[in-house]
A and B are shown apart, each in its own frame.
Chain A
Amino acid sequence: MSDNHIQFLLNDRLVTLNDIDPNTNVLGYLRNHANKSGTKEGCASGDCGACTVVVAEYIGGELTYKSLNACITLLPSLHGKQLITAEDLQDGDKLHPVQQAMVDFHGSQCGFCTPGFIMSLFALHKNFPDPSKHQTLEALAGNLCRCTGYRAIMDAAAAAKNHGPDQFDRNKAQTIATLSEIQSLAMTKLSSDGQEAYSPTSLGELSQLMLDNPKARLLAGGTDIVLEITQMMKQLGTIVYVGNVPELQQFDEDGDKFTLGAALPYTQFTPSIAAHYPEFGDMIERIGSLQVRNQGTLGGNVGNASPIGDTPPVLIALDARLNLRKGDDVRNIATEDYFVDYKVTSQQDSEFIQSIEIPKPSANQQLKVYKISKRFDDDISAVLAAFNFTIENDTVTAARIAFGGMAGVPARAKACEAALIGQPWTQATVDSAMAALAGDYTPMSDVRATKEYRMTVAQNLLQKAFIEMTQPQVNTGVVQYA
């Protein structure tokens, strides 16, 4: 975007928007401005998937297709991308193969969730021409259907495999050419009626913008912040969109740690994390939905400072560190020192999370991660447990334990750790550590769980971790991961 306009492809048509409120979400743009009502509003909170659209991005020489929730995606993030909706899939009078499969397998009933499913299926088959059941479930976990019971949709998804090239493949060269051209004209600012958004393209620009606008709201994936617009009916004020800052998108791996740019979406860094910490990777697959993970970032999950964010307890247990930048100054702090109180952090005005450093596992170290929620997928934790043990010669030589959902902030279980460290790795030690855990937290009751359940399950998860580590032959889980 050059000054005060953004450009993107709406299917195959180049759209230039001037003077549009940057608080406008893509769903509102489609339905109210572009007269495309095929994309439906089910919840406007990113939880139902009815408004799923696909955005094609040209990165690293490839066109990649990502499903996302149009309700929690703001227009500034569309610049330089291709937006595809359910109305665009038909090729002449011929339905797209994923559409035809949904018809053939009776995958729609009331039809209101269907355009969203279609777009999730479209992206799935673009990324995996012959998707596995697991990949299909992952792609569709964020699309709620109240009518079908899903079996027909699973069958349709399987039937659409290897569907061959479609018009998007045929038009690929043209699409890439257009996207490359508009990407080169980077958007810098979009404003209307006193609402403004900036889109810096370097770390330096970002730092300066934050110095100039200390109270500006950072927009990365937007999967939480946009709810202020759609649910609380607020305006965000000055927005700084960080999706075009290359330094925040980097993934570095050196000797003993990974460094993750704060604005890397989950789906991009999860495989690297999972290679070293499989349980962390499995848990990330249960954060939100694929639509959310295609946009949501680790920096956002930390910066949001929710007591029920899923990654902070794991980062704390792993002794991950944050690089906070303000202007040219960078300070490196322990993740647990970031969280001060309920929704209060040690981040200062003009400061932002630049990256997160996660140590690589050492010998004899084992990470156990558990997420407890009412629903397996796309639910918020009642309790999230992260246990980082080092066991040497049947003795606990190190233990960092952190929980989410047990206090106003994601927090260490220090009494529990103390009951373990230096002790023999036995049931008796675990029993005393479970008892000690009761002194670490005073959990609350809310819609997700009572305080009693939270404490009991937190204690039992330590028991479970012990059994799984010491008696791997014992069946302990109903939850099957990948």
Chain B
Amino acid sequence: MRKLIDLPTKQSSKIVGKVGASRKHESADKHVSGTATYIDDRPVMANHLHGAIGQSTIAHGTITSMDLSAVKAYPGVVDVLVADDVPGHLDIGPVFAGDPVLVKDKVEFMGQAIFAVAATSHEAAVKAAKLAVVEYDELEPVLSVKDALAKQNFVRPTHTQSRGDAATAISGSDNVLSGELQIGGQEHFYLEGQVSSAEPTEDGGMIVYTSSQHPSEVQILVAEVLGIPFNKVVIDMRRMGGGFGGKETQAAPWACLAALLANKTGCAVKLRLNRQDDMTVTGKRHPFENDYRVGFDNEGLVKGIEFNINGNCGYSPDLSDAIVDRAMFHSDNAYFLEHAHVVGNRCKTNTVSHTAYRGFGGPQGMISIEGVMDDIARAVGKDPLEVRKLNLYGQEDRNVTHYGQTVEHNILPMMIDKLEADCKYQERRAAITKFNKENQFIKKGIAITPVKFGISFTVQHLNQAGALIHLYTDGSIQLNHGGTEMGQGLNTKVAQVVAQEFQVDVDNILVTATRTDKVPNTSPTAASSGTDLNGKAAQAAAQTIRARLVEFCSEHFEVPSEQVIFSDNQVHIGEELSASHSVMPFAELVQLAYINRVSLSSTGFYKTPKIHYNREKADGRPFFYYANGVSCSEVVIDTLTGEYKVEQVDILHDVGDSLNPAIDIGQIEGAFVQGLGWLTTEELVWNEKGRLMTNGPATYKIPAIADMPEKFNVELLENEPNREATIYNSKAVGEPPFMHGISVWSALRDAVSSVADYKASPVLHTPSTPERVLAAVQAMKKA
């Protein structure tokens, strides 16, 4: 047998990258030097082919004929694939049926894939795919929420959450207001577009490299379209160039088509969507059109409220049931709604199927109630912050949500008070009031809005995770878990957890690509749950191995197990300060354990405790806990043009005990700016035929560097560990801070409202482009 390696003698005195350290992203050095490998950067095999899709050119109708002869004749084309060529399932709907991998006859949105091409180059495939001659029987497309509601055109049944008697409470109130808010969708604009590469295996299976947040689902769908057992498909996912929800279900079609083309041609096939195609054919954040009727007393306290939450789901269910549910779950945000009746409609339209996007419906529910708070404040003549505080959930009473979950550890009131003081809200409010009196054309606005976001998948079984850890005989560790790295620092945080468990430097731990043959049956990396679930699973795996090592040491050195202590890359064995006390480098212990035939590999598993929910009754505890935050935004608007600028943003956010403050702050800042974009410049426009007109970065404007607030202060709430037993008492951070963007929208409304001396509440649909702001200003001048 090959002998064990000699170990270096140098040992650090304390470990690097333990839990709580601002460890750099595990790929940072590779990112900056261009050596981090994304799917499209992988070397291609000899005979590697390139796939492209042929898209429908109408939004709704039936294919009557399809002539692909010009496509097949194009130089470089090797094969084409149509629906009838699919050996297994045609439908790849992730939860409910409705998403054909290729259209057989019925077209439901413009850009839907009706065939696929494999060619010797990406360019040849893309060019050839445009040469199809397809004829249709066109049907009238449904393109708006209003039209879908009128026609009762839904992708899933309407669902209601109700407590008390909202109608009676409203009619008995001192004041009643009603209104509507149209909330625009959002393109994910991950910088790396959708891409998959499929390679046939000798077993009639497939290995697929994909940029996906949900490798296990891709595995299942690839197997199903091919009609083969799941065990013949392996998905490999090292990193995504951004996901944001856009690669939860939306990565699968391209993986399936690449696999189908690979299966048909016998060659490896890479399918990468060009940006225009990506924006046209993949789902976005759901646009919503929500209306409300609220009754409140003269102080501004809500007595009863009715919400109609109407999500534009596009043509198929996809994840829309859970998304509209989450919008309903967050239509209270931080406020006690004693009598609430919340109806959620899943409107079916002939657009691309809208999908998961950071917040998953939560933002669209939350902005609606925040708008109501502003409207009530104008009606009762108070600062909106006062009305918000008045309606917050209480500590001991008024602390149960309209879906029956008790709001525990309610730290939001304290956080609001802290931020209000820290950012000098009241002084600035006074200064702004003065400024607005003195300035005719330029107006300022300010707003504080809270965020209370429920953490857990509302689909209960998804709240599970697995991990796999191997120790090698040089003391190095390989770590694998079911989560996916999309830039959020998941691999870094999970490695820190394992470093902490073994008390070794994080450099000692390599996190390898997420693979369905290492950790099976995984949940998507979504719902902000990545670290909560996979960190716990990795911790479990590490603890299993550590327990084995402790047990081994205890027997081998004849010491009680509590006298085996892992610390500083070493293991301390025996009673401290006693003659028999010895210190052994971690790697040496691993070698010794190996020689003594101790298993150095383990899986780990985790499932979230405490959660339960009865959807029929709309009652239970869907969320393990809430993540909290509060933000203050100050804006300045030009009443002649509607242009505006965000001058200052202060955010106080609750991540429990941070696993990695630098990564958490990065998540908060990035989420805020993404939320800012959603509500300001990012406007999706479909024309009357259902064609997406904003199909590239020239027409769809995500925030650029100068859109970052002039002053941008982000603080983590300190000394408030998660009271639930999460991984090192941290809290999820991916989605909640996205909703801090709402304070910008509220501040814009505040500035516009000043035009009417704060006596009227402006209608300001989103995204609140300069055009919409100017229209709101003009409406206020007439108010």
Residues of A within 8 A of B (CB): 31, 36-45, 47-48, 50, 85-87, 89-90, 95, 99-100, 102-104, 106-115, 118, 137, 140-154, 231, 233, 370, 372, 374-380, 382, 446-450, 453, 456-457, 460-461, 463-464, 467, 474-480
B171-196 interface with A by 8 A CB criterion: 188-193
Is there a chain A Cβ closer than 8 Å to B697's Cβ? Answer: yes
Complex Cα spacing A10 to B274, Å: 27
Which of B295-303, B360-368, B664-672 interfaces with chain A? B664-672
Instruction: Flag the segment in B369-377, B412-420, B706-714 that touches A.
Output: B706-714
Report the tally of A-B residue pairs with Cβ distances under 8 A: 258
Q: Are A144 and B29 in contact (CB under 8 A)?
A: no
Is B580 an interface residue when CB atoms closer than 8 A count as contact? no
- Residue B126 lies at the interface, judged by CB distance under 8 Å to chain A: yes
- Indicate if the CB atoms of A48 and B697 lie closer than 8 Å: yes
- Chain B residues positioned under 8 Å from A370 (CB to CB): 641
Q: Is the CB of A108 within 8 A of B28?
A: yes
Q: Which of A85, A149, A446 contacts B34 (CB 8 A)?
A: A85
Contact of A86 among B32, B189, B698 (CB under 8 A): B32
Asked if B643 and A152 sit within 8 Å, CB to CB, the answer is no
Q: Which 6 A-B pairs have the closest CB atoms?
A: A38-B34, A110-B487, A112-B241, A111-B31, A149-B673, A109-B487
Contact B672 A149 (CB under 8 A): yes
Q: Which among A151, A382, A450 has the highest number of chain B CB atoms within 10 Å?
A: A151
With A144-B189, A456-B778 given, can you name 9 additional A-B contacts, CB distance below 8 Å?
A: A38-B34, A108-B32, A112-B191, A115-B34, A143-B705, A374-B683, A450-B771, A453-B775, A457-B774
**Chain A residues closer than 8 Å to B37, beta-carbon distance:** 37
Contact A151 B669 (CB under 8 A): yes
A148, B275: Cβ atoms under 8 Å? Answer: no
17 sample A-B contacts, Cβ–Cβ < 8 Å, listed by A number: A37-B41, A45-B698, A102-B31, A106-B28, A108-B28, A110-B239, A113-B191, A115-B31, A148-B669, A149-B671, A149-B672, A374-B683, A374-B701, A463-B640, A464-B641, A475-B439, A476-B638
**When the two chains form the complex, which single residue of A143, A147, A460, A463 contacts B670, counting CB atoms closer than 8 Å?**
A147
> What CA separation (Å) do A260 and B660 show in the bound complex?
54
- In angstroms, Cα B671 to Cα A149, docked, is 7
Q: Are the CB atoms of B276 and A149 closer together than 8 Å?
A: no
List of A residues within 8 angstroms of B638 by Cβ: 476-479
Q: A112-B191, A114-B32, A475-B441 are in contact. Are A147 and B705 (CB under 8 A)?
A: no
Complex contact B696–A45 (CB within 8 A)? yes
A255 to B136, CA, bound (A): 66
- Indicate if the CB atoms of A149 and B708 lie closer than 8 Å: yes
> Bound state CA distance, A479 and B647, in angstroms?
11
In the complex, which residue of chain A has the Cβ closest to the Cβ of B674?
A146
Q: How far is the CA of A449 from the CA of B34 in the complex (A)?
A: 38
Residue of B nearest to A114 (CB): B31
User: B191, A110: Cβ atoms under 8 Å?
Assistant: yes
Smallest Cβ distance from A301 to chain B, in angstroms?
A: 15
Complex interface: chain B residues within 8 A of A376 (CB): 645, 704, 706-707
- Residues of chain A lying within 8 A (CB to CB) of residue B398: none
B757: Cβ under 8 A from any A Cβ? no
Name the CB-closest residue of A to B713.
Answer: A151
A106 touches B487 (CB 8 A): no
- Which residue from chain B places its CB closest to the CB of A370 in the assembled complex? B641
A148 and B670 contact, CB distance less than 8 A = yes
Task: Report yes or no: A112 in contact with B242, Cβ–Cβ below 8 A.
Answer: yes
Q: How far is the CB of B714 from chain A (nearest CB, A)?
A: 8
Cβ of A86 and Cβ of B191 under 8 Å apart?
A: no
Give Cα A479–Cα B646 distance, bound, in whole angstroms: 11
From B24, B693, B696, A106 is in contact (CB under 8 Å) with B24
CA distance A403 to B638 in the complex (A): 20
B33 lies within 8 A of A95 (CB): yes
Q: Does B127 contact A (CB under 8 A)?
A: yes
Among B191, B442, B683, B693, point to the contact of A40 (Cβ < 8 A).
Answer: B191
Chain B residues in 8 Å Cβ range of A151 = 669, 708, 712, 714
A166 to chain B, nearest CB (A): 14
Enumerate chain B residues within 8 angstroms of A140, measured Cβ to Cβ: 705
Contact between chains at A106 and B662 (CB < 8 Å): yes
CB atoms of A147 and B697 under 8 A apart: no
- Contact of B33 with A467 in the complex, beta carbons under 8 Å: no
Check if A150 sits within 8 Å of B38, measured CB to CB: no
Asked if B698 and A380 make an inter-chain contact with CB atoms under 8 angstroms apart, the answer reads yes
Q: CB < 8 Å: which of A50, A107, A233, A377 contacts B126?
A: A233
B241 A110 Cβ-Cβ under 8 A:
yes
In the complex, A81→B30 CA distance in Å? Answer: 27
1/0 contact string of B323-335 vs chain A (CB within 8 Å): 0000000000000
Name the B residues within 8 Å of A379 (CB-CB): 701
Verify if B141 is at the interface (C-beta below 8 Å from A): no
CB distance from B119 to the nearest CB of A (A): 13
Contact of A453 among B38, B701, B771 (CB under 8 A): B771
B496 beta carbon closer than 8 Å to chain A: no
CB-defined contacts of A476 to chain B, threshold 8 Å: 441-442, 638, 640
B window 679-713: CB within 8 A of A: 681, 683, 685, 693-694, 696-699, 701-708, 712
B107 within 8 A of A: no
Flag if A233 contacts B669 (CB, 8 Å).
Answer: no
- Counting chain B CB atoms within 10 Å of each CB, which of A110, A152, A461, A478 scores highest? A110
Q: Are B694 and A111 in contact (CB under 8 A)?
A: no
A141: which of B442, B685, B705 is its contact (CB, 8 Å)? Answer: B705
Q: Name the CB-closest residue of A to B670.
A: A149
> A109 near B708 (CB under 8 angstroms)?
no
B33 x A111 contact (CB < 8 A): no
| Docked pose: A163 CA to B188 CA in angstroms | 36
Q: A479 and B35 in contact (CB under 8 A), knowing A45-B697, A144-B704, A146-B702? A: no
A294 to chain B minimum Cβ distance, whole angstroms, is 17
B34 with A377: CB separation less than 8 A: no
Is B489 engaged at the interface, CB distance under 8 Å to the other chain?
Answer: yes
Q: Which residue of A is nearest B121, CB measured?
A: A32
Q: Which residues of A contact B670 (CB under 8 A)?
A: 109, 146-149
Q: Known contacts being A40-B241, A149-B673, A449-B771, is A111 close to B487, with CB within 8 Å?
A: yes
Q: What residues on A are CB-neighbors of B702 within 8 Å?
A: 144, 146
> Do B40 and A37 have beta carbons less than 8 Å apart?
yes
Name B441's closest neighbour in chain A (CB-CB).
Answer: A476
Max count, chain A CB within 10 A of own CB: residue among B699, B702, B771, B774: B771
